[in-house]
Amino acid sequence: MSRPLILVTNDDGITAGGIAALVNVAQEFGDVLVVAPDSPQSAQGHAITISVPIFVRESEALGPDVEAYECSGTPVDCVKLAKSVLLAGRTPDLCLSGINHGSNAAINILYSGTLSAAMEASLEGIPSIGFSFLNYRADADFSVCLPYVRHLVEFVLTNGMADGSLFNVNIPDLPAEQIKGLRVCRQAEARWVEEYTHNEDPRGRPYYWLTGRFVNEDERTDTDAYALEHGYVSLVPSVHDLTNHRALASLQTIEGSLQPEGLEYSEDEVSREQQLEQF
């Protein structure tokens, strides 16, 4: 039997240390194809390129024995091109994204190019894992992450993953002996409070530089933020369905209030109450 096919990408660029560490583990389990941005693409979210051409070329940034391509587009572009062009219709058995410099816990999943690349793969039905290391240094030592990467890659290849799901994995910046293990969590209800630094360029033109602070007002102990603060690796199973299912039933009053007078549902339609019972 052929070995599993593993697609590897990131948002820090093909020369980043995190993707090299991820590729080394992926090669233990299967055939690896790397498609990654040719420059850093952090905080690109689920952006795609539609207004300019995308350029892709082979790269030896990860060594001559790794089939790798660098892409001028976003992390999501990388996954789309891999699936539609470079793999000629063959579907990867697993997509790995990262290892990212810095946290992608809580609300960061919406901004992250790392997790958006994994999300794009999951939209295609590919089991996907995004890995992030809470260390922002360019010379970060990713070796502390590798046992958890290895364990989760083996777990997903053996057990599969629910359709439309992906794992958002964050690893605390601690010595290996101080990490207490792995916790399966929910996403913390936390947010960024934005601030902008104002200045002028040499020509006197005003500009603004985004700064801010991360605020976690979620005091419950079952969140990714709590796990990371207490020395655990966090794993949040995530989906791309952004429906607020809790609000569906309560919003039926709006649906009824906007129904034109005299218009009734046909008898062959399933009642709204029945449709919403599953939620």
Question: Residue 53 corresponds to which amino acid?
Answer: P
Find out whether 234 is annotated in a ligand binding site. Answer: no
Whether 199 contacts 206, CB under 8 Å: yes
Whole-prediction pTM value? 0.85
Asked whether residue 62 is assigned to any structural domain, the reply reads: yes
Cβ distance 97 to 75 under 8 Å?
A: yes
Q: What band does 278 get if pLDDT is binned at 50, 70 and 90?
A: low
Say if residue 74 is in the same domain as residue 110. yes
Percentage of the chain modeled with pLDDT above 90: 61
Q: Are residues 251 and 230 in the same domain?
A: no
Per-residue model confidence (pLDDT) at position 154? 96
Helix (H, G, I), strand (E, B) or coil at 239: strand
Q: Report, as an integer, the average pLDDT of 95-119.
A: 91
Is residue 195, in this structure, part of any structural domain at all? no
pLDDT for the residue 217: 83
The answer on pLDDT for 265 being more than 60 is: no
Average pLDDT over residues 176-181: 95
pLDDT for position 43: 77
Check the annotation: does 108 bind a ligand.
Answer: no
Q: What per-residue confidence (pLDDT) applies to 1?
A: 53
Pair 94, 229 in one domain:
yes
- Identify the pLDDT of residue 226: 92
Least confident of 13-22, 80-89, 92-101, 125-134: 80-89
* Residue 194 belongs to a domain: no
Is residue 90 included in any domain, yes or no? yes
> Which carries the bigger pLDDT value, residue 135 or residue 216?
135
Annotated binding residue 100: yes
Could you tell me where the beta strands, DSSP code E, fall in 75-205? 94-101, 128-133, 165-171, 182-184, 190-200
**Phi, psi for 235 (deg, rounded to 5):** -130, 115
Q: Which residues of 258-275 are buried (b: 16+ CB within 10 A; e: fewer)?
A: eeeeeeeeeeeeeeeeee
257 is in which domain, residue-wise?
245-276
Q: Is 163 annotated as a binding residue?
A: no
Confidence category of residue 62, pLDDT binned at 50, 70, 90: very high
Report if residue 63 sits inside a domain: yes
Q: What b-and-e string marks burial along 87-102, b requiring 16 or more CB atoms within 10 Å of the CB?
A: eeeeebbbbbbbbbbb
